[in-house]
Amino acid sequence: MPTNSTTKKDYRIIGFLLFLSLVPSIAGLVRIFQLTTGSGYTVENQRFFNDPIPVILHIIAVLIYSVLGSLQFAPGFRSRHLRWHRISGRILVFLGLLTAGTGLWLTWVYPKVPTDGDWLFGIRMVIGIWMLICIILGFVFVLQKNFRTHSHWMIRGYAIGLGAGTQVFTHLPWFVFVGGEPSGIPRDLMMAAGWLINFLVAEWIIWKENSFRN
- Tens of pLDDT, residue by residue, the chain (214 residues): 444 445 788 888 889 999 999 989 999 999 999 999 988 888 778 888 999 999 999 999 999 999 999 988 887 877 788 888 899 999 999 999 999 999 999 999 998 888 899 999 999 999 999 999 999 999 999 999 999 999 999 999 999 999 999 999 999 999 999 988 899 999 999 999 999 999 999 999 999 888 877 6
Count other Cβ atoms within 10 Å, centred on residue 149: 15
Of 171, 50, 161, 62, nearest in space to 111 by CA: 50
Cα 96–104–86 angle (5° rounding)? 10
**Which residues, at least 6 apart from 116, have a Cβ–Cβ distance to it below 8 Å?**
183, 187, 188
As beta bridge partners, residue 184 has 116
Contact status, residue 119 vs residue 185, Cβ threshold 8 Å: yes
Q: What is the pLDDT of residue 44?
A: 74
Rg of the chain's alpha carbons, rounded to an integer?
18
Q: What is the pLDDT of residue 47?
A: 87
Q: What is the pLDDT of residue 99?
A: 96
Q: What is the pLDDT of residue 214?
A: 61
CA-CA distance, 186 to 28, in Å (whole number)? 23
Of 55, 26, 80, 62, nearest in space to 157 by CA: 62
